[in-house]
Structure 1
Amino acid sequence: MAGLDIGPTVPVWLAEDDLGCIICHGLLAWPVTLPCGHSFCRDCLKGLWGARRHWSCPTCREGAAQQLDLRKNTLLQDLADKYSRAVGELEGGQGRTPIPAPDPAPGPQRRTAQLRAVASKSITEVDHKLAELVEQLVDIVRRLQSQRHLPESGPDNKMNTLGMAFSDGMDISSASPKQGTSNTPEGKMRDILHDLEEIQEKLRENFTEKEPLEEKRQVKLSKAPSSSSCPLVDQSQPASKQVSRFAQWAVSLTFDLRSLSCSLKVSEDCQTVTVSHFSRFYPWSHERFATCQVLCSQAFSSGQKYWEVDTQNCSHWAVGVASWGMSRDQILGRTRDSWCVEWKGTSQLSAWHMVKETVLGSEKPRVVGIWLDLEQEKLAFYSVANQEKLLFECPVSGSSPLHAAFWLYGLHPGNSLSIRPVKV
């Protein structure tokens, strides 16, 4: 049989967003494609379905009557592998590939350094995944605890199986055995929740102790931009009494209900957005986000603007700016017309600019201040305590009006972000 003529090789420019999974925010691994056409990592999809007990697409919510047979999309897997190898070659073997890209004749010291770098990154990723799983378990136990009656058992109900394990007296809280444990299902749930929260706290302490040196270096770089357009701090007042240096540019914002995801709800004053316990049925609109995102109504095309977001009641979030034309099935920061800082809920703060992630550190800001200078086309994010502390600064495009943008991911009911008044 004659060989196929594959024709000329055409270079194609790909970003990680083109081959990314919106659940784990990483490169597709063992990708599967649903009947609606959207693709995800198989394990991410199975984990999401297992926790929520339904089989619908996380992006468009198209559902199925029964659990689907998830088969690998070999074309996407090949593309993801090729992308990983290319990134590994560009970054000297420290990309996302499991093994660094081979050099023609690498020296033993260089090879050892590459392997150590990849091993360190793999361990960190495993730690973060473990923390996410523990958080999901805590959420499941809390939901079970809030129910007055345990549900009846069913062949496909994983939540019921866990409930029956409690009612049958099965002791799965071996992580931290305690004296005088109650034999009632409610008592066992309290004990297990206590154990999980202890594990969760130890994982957080572990992340704090093992903050990579590279993250610290990037934080220092982000704190010292070459030409900042931000106003200087007024040193004439004590720190505890200082008003915001951005007070004169503070704007009042309200959430735009047209863009609100069906998984979110807003307060009556339209200044707090919360993850709903159940998907809400808003009128269909092409302006509504498919994922847990929302924009504010106010559009900014000139001048200097500042606002603050309270993040204390949200475990996974991203805040920033986006154009109104941002694709409604895309994620904040993963498009060229949106920018943000993001807290992953696993002790990692990142910034997204031009579809590229920059790790900033492991400390969660309780309040994020956002400074938008459209005269110089610059955007800056601050951690706000008694005074503003610069987290990240980057250029933005002023070609289209920009809106304040919010993303509450993880679908943890009750998580909320609030637009708070600026100190004047």
Structure 2
Amino acid sequence: MAGLAVPVWLAEDDLGCVICQGLLDWPATLPCGHSFCRDCLQGLWGARGAGGAGRRWACPTCREGAAQQPRLRKNTLLQELADRYRRAARGLGDDPGPAPAPDPAPAPDPAPAPRSPRRPAQQQAAVQKSIMEVGRELTELVEQLVDIVRSLQNQRRLAESGPDNELGILSTQTFSSGVDLSLASPKLETSSTSEGEMRDVLHDLEVIQEKLRENLTWKEASEERTQVELPEAPSSSSRPLPNQSLPAPKRASQFAPWAINPTFDLQTLSCSLEVSKDCHIVTVSHRPQSYPWSRERFSTSQVLCSQALSSGQQYWEVDTRHCSHWAVGVASWGMSRDRILGRTTDSCCVEWKGTSQLSAWHMFKETVLGSDRPGVVGIWLDFEEGKLAFYSVANEEKLLYECMVSAAAPLHPAFWLYGLHPGNSLIIKQVRV
């Protein structure tokens, strides 16, 4: 008995492939339920290669992956609907009644019908989307390589230091003694050829990583401008496909109007540290530096910024991703040069320990904040309310710790780096505006 013929209005997007932006041709449905042209899917998977961040066989829509390439089988229902749509679009019409009975014997797949031509704007968007996807996967891969090299460096240094590594642990427990153990191991002052080669490899990877990020950011901005300038193609359905919208541009910091760009003060710089020419990057030296004597110089691996803050509201950010053990905060200029940040009455900080612990230090008291490591720390200093706050900065600011501070004396941005790991660095970032 024939079924009812119900009129259904379809748009091209309802039977379209998000890869080629055309009608489905030999549609293959993945285990997650999304369908694509077989040739488009195989071409995309082949372009990714075996090192596609562990997601070579991922669905382009929902990113659900598989351990091995899934077997692609033809979705005959979608193929029939797409063929009917093609014929209807050409003005040939189609019988809306039931589908004909199947042939007694399986017949070979018919030759693929010609695809509807892609609109130039859609083709450009598809190419741009593929470039963006490859760029993101390359960035993820380089980040993994950087982490691997850093892990190898740390393991090698710990193995070389042997018993001397206990001094590093002891130094985190005896801050009040004022003894700087950052140079206690003579073994770490010497550099073998393999260590030098590893540093060169890490440097090259970091350069590649930064270039990838810059190019990816530029392409995202360029694509957003292109989408705004190009007119939208007429369609009865303007809904975006799931998970296919571009990531939202990074939001400017809510503290941008009060952002400052402090610089490291060379008079306070410890002899175990060195700074970049623009005074925005501080790094643990591979050998002691011969700076001129100054009573303002820290004996431990610490440094202040030159800017004295005593009124109003200020905000700055510090990139901590290249340092395994650090503390960032504020201190008065009169802070004792043989004490550790946060262990005095005139300093306060948040500190990341190599034991995967984030703490806040204020008035000699430690407050454990958790085990999540912030890649970028934002510091908000509000003298009008007598408030100091630390934020983890990603796409938005997440409060880590807040305390009251006194305006009795000016405060300076302050930093401490773990002295037993040469190459560790902290970076004062430019705040997004």
Query: What interval of TM-score do these two structures reach, taking the shorter chain for normalisation?
Result: 0.3 to 0.5
